[in-house]
Chains A and B, each alone.
Chain A
Amino acid sequence: MSITKAGTWVEIQQVVLSPAERAPSVPEDTKKVPYVMRVSGFLLEDAQIGQTTRIKTIIGRELEGELITVNPHYAHSFGNIVPEILTIGTDEETL
């Protein structure tokens, strides 16, 4: 497995609460899954995916967690075409 160098922008994950520790008020489906947190930051030591490691966040806080993503990026978009809305407000349909 490849080593990610200290200083790389990464995302870590931490299980905050196990299913058994979840708040009493949560519905049944939510109670079955752990409560998980993810934060991005600069890796403080060389590490591998899946390893517990430490990061420094963009505001300088140090946090610990499992390394899950190297160079995390945003890929959200405008989605696939939704033909149903194309003609709204055009001459193709009457208001």
Chain B
Amino acid sequence: MTALAHVLEPWHRSARATAGLYGHFIRLAFLKYLAYRLRYYTGVISYTIFVSGYYYLYTALFESRVPGPDGVATMGGLTVQEMVTYIAVGWIGRSFYFNNIARELMHQIQEGQIAMQLVKPFDVQAVMTFEAAGESAFRLLMFTLPISVVIVPLFGINLPEDPALLGWTVVSFILSLMVYSQINFLTGCLAFYMKNISGVLRAKMVSADFLNGLLIPFSFFPEWFQTAVGFLPFQAVGYIPVTIYLGKRPGNELWIALGIQAAWAVGLYLAGRVVWKRSVRTVIVQGG
């Protein structure tokens, strides 16, 4: 025993150890999802069906469209090829950034398992963020790559004219992951205040896919709607990377778009910190 048996000594985790610890969470999440890889094989099928559905829907719509003066039919400023690329890239991206940490947080709060996290000397929000990153690393390998191999040749998806845009799209999707996991963390925190947030989570998922621009491009909607959506974080998840891929953000607009995503990621992370601190201080952890 120490000389001062009645005193607990302060401690400090070095930056190096912190990086090691949170890196370990990425690794563990990867291992965890590896145990459930079967789920993702079925995901490849369902995503392919989604994209096929939209493919036939939009090609049918474009066929009935009168071509413009240049002989090309467009809808909302997109040609049929761009439209199909829009949908395919959107879903391929979603296979990467999607995660369920809101649901996971809800279960932990409802069942009181969150107590086991709170008695450990780490930052729960950071842990969940890095677990989400681990999940996405797994998804990239087991979901995004296989689905790209199926979808890209199947629908004849072209690479961007400027190959650098492919790189920027990847960067943008990584930012999407950060924004999306923080949206999910914040939504999951609602479980501190409500008994069951399954309904909220469903509503969030559906409206997120819509407000992401994943189902219908924003350019189909009236001006005021596009302006309103611009104020929401969802367009920073799905819409921005796809428009980067399509080359719709020339010059400085690319930097602005990436900046908007980064700002949402940081802003939502900070908001999550505040909400989390408050919730843990004021709310009762159930059971136990």
Q: Do chains A and B stick together as partners?
A: no
